[in-house]
Amino acid sequence: MKRIFTLCTLLTVFACITSGNAQNKITVDPSMQRYIGDVSEIDRSKYFNLHGGWADGNVTDDEYNHLTEELGVNYGRSFWGPFAWAKNNAGGEVGVYPEDEQTIISKGTNTVNYSKSQPYYWRKSNRLIVTAHPESVVRWSIDTDKAAIWAAEYFKHFYTDEDRPMWYEPMNEPFVHAGDADFSAEQPDDAKMRQRMAEWFGAIGKKFDETPELENVNVIGYSSAWPSMELWDFGYWDSRMKMFMDVAGDHMDAFATHLYDGINVTGGDNKRSGSNSEAILDLIETYSYAKWGVVKPHAISEFGGIEKGYPDGYSDLKSIQSVKAINHIIFNLLDRENDLQIAIPFITSKATWHINASNNYEPYGAVLWRPSVTGVPIDSNTEWVYTPRVHFYELWQDVKGKRVFVSSEDPDIQSHAFVDENRLYLALSNLEESTSTVNLESFEELNDLTSVRIKSLKIWNDKDPEYTDKTQNTAPTSIKLIADETVVLEYSFNKNIVFTNAIRSKKYYTSEHLKKITGALTFHINGVDVGDNGGTASLRMSIGRKHNRSKRPTVRVNGNALTPPSDWAGYDQASRDDFFGMIEIPVPIEYLKEDNEVSIQFSDNDGRVSSVIMQVNLHDTRLAVGIKDAKEYGVKVYPTLITEGWMKVMMIENTFRTMDLVSMNGKVIKSENINRGQSEIHISDMPTRKGLYILRLTGENAVYTQKVIVN
């Protein structure tokens, strides 16, 4: 279905101007700073990382510097750690560790050259996840407490306080390996082995909590490879992530999940992009809140896509397919930064370990660098070039700054916007399986615009990708996004963009979850701050049920009926046994109270409502350091709806010195000095009169803002 969108810069509480017969729109307000919890500025080190480790090796200084300094990428994850080291250096047997502390210290990197045990680039940043394959870590019969002591000793002595990794993930994707021969010889029951693996995580986390030197190391797990929570009427959830949270969760600093489009290790073909990944993470958050009263953070230690339908071996065309999913999933994760410690796209370094005769000297499929000539042995003279996966980093290379308000009426058009001084970054991605047209109407005042840089990444299944980076002097009026395309528009203005308001997003959880769908279901969401200045809200309803069952229930909030949408983010999930996804339902802010009752009733039975979360987005009335309430200044602004002539400002205290009338894109339209606590602004000579403006009063240590409408 072809859909048309319109970009506007009005606040969401006002009508968005549209053109033609557009039925859908994107709304952007660069003057409204957005907070997710208490986070506004994007932390690039959480998202733009490399799945690099010690075995990848052979990265030159020039390659490292271009990656980190030019592209803004961090190293993020390595397969090594205490148990792999012990297996290789303390007898070759899993469970055998150095006995005395002096031996540990003498083997540690405090006393030997770093390059003898780990590559140099580990030491340039401690933002690293250390993990290992479970075959090198665990056995049924090994004492978990002894293993935890060894892991803590390793992290104490093999690193300095400056370079000690921030995350330790004791095992990678352990549960899908619970039935491997390494474990079944001692414990043929997979479920019991999963339980034992969870006990290992818990024991290690507890020991790290008790070790003062490791207070900055976060123990995470369990790195779920196949988080199809809805399987077997959520029996999969009960026996995997819920079990892990019950057994080890008290001592986990974050819960690690792997999100892939396609088949990761096992399971059915699927797309986690969109509603499915939202439902997975919402269920983890909801259970965390129910169990501990807080939402423990996520660590997405791998995310990406699994290529299918291509010949064995490496090809650039095959390699780039994963970037479709990486781009889609990162839009989801950008909305969870306040509850996210780190996210690692599955893009590896050189993976030289893979280039051998048994693999026909072909590169590993996920690498960022490959030999310029493939299919031959590598040596010190090998020339290395970027694979197409570099386009992911190039696309997002310059994006930085503070979030600003942006919304899309179509859940299949993902959007984020950031402001950094005089630049607005607008990122859009198309989850649709067909082309969508986004109509971009001009901002209200574009005479301050100096240029627009447009970066686009188009990825096809059967031909090379197209990455473009162009700059033009005028704003585009529309953009067509093919299926899975992602674009980043960088608007540059000749003045810094001024924030005149803020919107603060907060999620409210209920302890009630995984309710079986039969009759009317009731959920209670209490302690909600509804504010005094308006805003928006939405009910995040996640459901798991058969495809022939309804997805549009009757929903009421405090007795008020809502209208569930007929669409959700991402595909229809028809390739999956069951539908499992989050459907976002708009809620008028005036329906909310401090304590709320939500009623959900489907027209048919079966399946479950896995989680219900209320997201509330409240407006500020003013935004600056040192602001007080207008009554404290005795400020009076009248009229706030100006139809002719002038607007007057009076105050008891002579606190403010200047008065500006600011358009919604941050341009100062009129400016006056304030004399003796009063002043006037005349509108008769304004080039454009009608519209929404912000009246901004500025003093030495205070700022006051007030919405006004010129009609």
**C-alpha torsion sign, points 385, 387, 391, 396:** negative
Q: How many residues does the chain have?
A: 711
Active-site position among 135, 153, 169, 173: 173
Of the CA atoms within 13 Å of residue 543, those in its CB half-sphere come to 27
Contact 47, 112 (CB under 8 A): no
Contact 473, 506 (CB under 8 A): no
Give the 3-state secondary structure of residue 279.
helix
69 an active-site residue?
A: no
Contact 54, 78 (CB under 8 A): yes
173 an active-site residue?
A: yes
Residue 103 main-chain phi, psi, to 5 deg: -65, -40
Please report, to the nearest 10 degrees, the dihedral formed by the alpha carbons of residues 270, 331, 121, 356 taken in order: 30
Active-site position among 153, 230, 278, 302: 302
| Residue recorded with tokens 């302690």 | 527
Can you point out the beta strands (E) in 194-313? 218-224, 254-261, 298-305
Amino acid identity of residue 369, one-letter, is W
Of the CA atoms within 13 Å of residue 82, those in its CB half-sphere come to 27
Cα–Cα dist 108/258, whole Å: 31
Helix (H) or strand (E) holding 208: helix 190-209
Please report, to the nearest 10 degrees, the dihedral formed by the alpha carbons of residues 443, 445, 450, 456 taken in order: 0
CB-CB neighbours of 444 under 10 Å: 17
| Residue recorded with tokens 């660069």 | 30
Which tokens is 238 given?
A: 């009960």
Catalytic residues, which ones?
Answer: 173, 302
